[in-house]
Amino acid sequence: MSDSSEKTEHFDFIREAVAEDLRSGRFSQVHTRFPPEPNGWLHIGHAKALFVDFGIAQDFGGVCNLRFDDTNPEKEDMEYVEAIQRDIKWLGFDWGDRLFFASDYYELLYSLAQKLIRKGLAYVDDLDDEQIKEYRGTNVPDKNNITYTPPGKNSPYRDRSVEENLDLFARMRAGEFPDGAKTLRAKIDMAHPNLLMRDPVMYRIRRVPHYRTGNTWCIYPMYDFAHPLSDAIEGITHSLCSLEYEIHRPLYDWFNQNCDMFPSRQIEFARLNISHTVLSKRWLLQLVLEKKVSGWDDPRMPTIAGMRRRGYPAAGILDFLGRIGIAKTDSMVDIQLLEHCIREELNKRAMRLMAVLNPVKLVIENWPKGQVEWLEAVNNPEDPSAGTRKIPFSGELYIDREDFREVPPPKYYRLFPGNQVRLRYGYIVTCTGFEKDPAHGDISVITCTYDPATRGGDAPDNRKVKGTIHWVSAEHALPFEARLYDYLFEPERPMEVPEGKTFLDNLAPNSLIIERRAVAEPATREISVGQTVQFERVGYFCKDPDSSAAMAVFNRTVSLKDSWTKIEKKQQEIVH
């Protein structure tokens, strides 16, 4: 992870808590962990979590583990493990030799469960899932519509003897009982105001092969049991997690205390919410399974893989995470801030090229027949070390249809009959006419003349030419497919839907538009898959893995228009 003080200055309340733990002697060092479940690919919400986990460890000279909390074999796969590791490394984080799996601890977790049974703090229950929910109770409104939680009921099997519970638990492990027939539950308090403390399930019977342990086990620990004990086994000092786990904290502490384990401390922070986006593996998996997107790495997805394929640089994502900070309460972050951070990073390092997405031919009538000039173009005006390149200029060019109007609207400074424009790096041209396709009525050819004295775009007579447009030499044009991505969801809050609707009803109809007529300058041939460039006046584009020798594919990373700076300026004006 890059060392940047501004990227951690917003960790204040977490930093203060950690610093106090070190001052008081509660802990002598800082040891955090990033604990993904391998049941999906990482999204930018996970990136925020690992940014915090690794960042706090770095700030205090500690270490951070990568541990896969793999306790649910029905949904987990080695594919997810590999994808998660790939994404973490791409973002710039390094766990070194501290890679662990909760499944490594299955035998130890089993013995700790036995320990709780011997202490009289766990029992084997014969109630099924529905009965457990019924006995546990629920939150209900009283006569004043204030929510309260009436006491639950003890299971009729709660008072089994230690010996019977140890025997039944061993037989559960041995596979004597069918799936769902029995569970192991902690014996805490069925009248506890926190429903999670009402004898939570610790183990359930599931005859499902595990992607690492195979058929060795037919009982699996529940997350709320395995997670705190895995932290304790690894000596994690600070278990940093999202705010939704705040209600789980008493249970986290109860398991570690009663198993006589290391006293890891849980600290919660608000999860990331971004406008026009859903950040839940459950919903993202539904998008994939129902083929609303092409896969986990679809460039419209908020997954790290999707953002990488779209062309987002890791540095831009980290800049975004540093700017939003870490809060104690949930809030919505405008996606335009993320796009702003991506633009700022790409503006510094992306090579400039010229491409035309919707081409129409421009013929220069007075150009010497067959002549080709090679003009010098700047690769990146923000980076002089990037140098220059040569681009061919000929008598037939392609320009974008948006850069010509038969009848121009007010304040239109581009090409129309009788008007002059600069051709980027080339010459000043004057429009002399146009032709239309008789079959469709579309403009097929635009004609113009050029001024030989204006090479480079400068007029020796200092005439005022307001418009500058980009172009591609028709003879040298490379065809490519442009995939124009936009927000996957139309509303700002996709999960807010009327009754009878689902979040899928909020999918934007035009989140992907494919333009197959696009052309680019010859230097585009040298762009490698995964490299992001700026097509001047068009946007930032990344070369996609679907590219072939015959046809390159470029994904629009982000447009050139930056609305966030305007939003930020208005907010500052309101404050002042």
Cβ pair 359, 518 in contact under 8 A:
yes
Structure confidence at residue 77 (pLDDT): 95
Radius of gyration of the chain (CA): 31
Of 514, 549, 551, 555, nearest to 533 (Cα)? 555
- The structure tokens listed for 198 are 């009402």
pLDDT for the residue numbered 334: 95
DSSP string covering 283-330, please?
HHHHHHHTTSSSSTT-TTS-BHHHHHHHT--HHHHHHHHHHH---SS-
Q: Choose, from 136, 271, 343, 389, the residue flagged as catalytic.
A: 271
Phi/psi of residue 185, each to 5°?
-120, 145
Residue 331 is predicted with a pLDDT of 84
The per-residue pLDDT for 139 is 79
Name the strands in the sheet holding 219-221, side by side, starting at the edge strand that comes first in the sequence.
122-125, 183-186, 201-205, 219-221
Q: Say whether domain 5-269 belongs to CATH 3.90.700.10.
A: no
Domain boundaries, the chain: 5-269, 355-470
Q: Is the dihedral of CA 87, 88, 89, 95 positive or negative?
A: negative
- CATH 2.40.240.10 matches 355-470: yes
pLDDT tens sequence for the chain (576 residues): 444 334 444 568 999 999 999 999 999 999 999 999 999 999 999 999 999 999 999 999 999 999 999 999 999 999 999 999 999 999 999 999 999 999 999 999 999 999 999 999 999 999 999 999 999 998 777 667 777 789 999 999 999 999 999 999 999 999 999 999 999 999 999 999 999 999 999 999 999 999 999 999 999 999 999 999 999 999 999 999 999 999 999 999 999 999 999 999 999 999 999 999 999 999 999 999 999 999 999 999 999 999 999 999 999 999 999 999 888 888 899 999 999 999 999 999 999 999 999 999 999 999 999 999 999 999 999 999 999 999 999 999 999 999 999 999 999 999 999 999 999 999 999 999 999 998 888 999 999 999 999 998 788 888 889 999 999 999 999 999 999 999 999 999 999 999 999 999 999 999 999 999 999 999 999 999 999 999 999 999 999 999 999 999 999 999 998 765 555 554 444 433
DSSP letter for 270, please.
P
Strand partners, 303: 43
Q: Is 481 a catalytic residue?
A: no
Strands (E), 424-508: 428-436, 443-450, 468-469, 472-473, 478-485
SS (H, E, C) 140-194: EECCCCCEECCCCCCCCCCCCCHHHHHHHHHHHHHCCCCCCCCEEEECCCCCCCC
Residue 540: exposure state from Cβ atoms within 10 A (0-12, 13-18, ≥19): buried
pLDDT computed for residue 464 by the predictor: 86
What CA–CA distance (Å, rounded) separates 427 from 449?
Answer: 10
Residue-wise DSSP of 534-567:
EETTTEEEEE-TT--SS-EEEEEEE-S---HHHH
> Is 37 noted as a catalytic residue in this protein?
yes
Q: What is the 3-state composition of the chain as percent helix, strand, coil, each rounded to the nearest 5?
A: 35, 25, 45
Is 95 strand, coil or helix? coil
**Each residue of 316-340: pLDDT tens digit?**
999 999 999 888 888 899 999 999 9
Place of tokens 């620990």: 221
Residue 561: active-site member: no
Cβ atoms within 10 A of the Cβ of 86, count? 15
The closest alpha carbon to 374, from 395, 362, 390, belongs to 390
33, 37, 339, 422: the active-site residue: 37
Per-residue pLDDT, 349: 95
Contact 277, 335 (CB under 8 A): yes
Q: Which of 33, 281, 343, 556 is the catalytic position?
A: 281
Q: Say what the pLDDT of residue 274 is.
A: 96
pTM higher than the cut 0.75: yes
Q: Quickly count helices (H) and strands (E) in the chain.
A: 13, 28
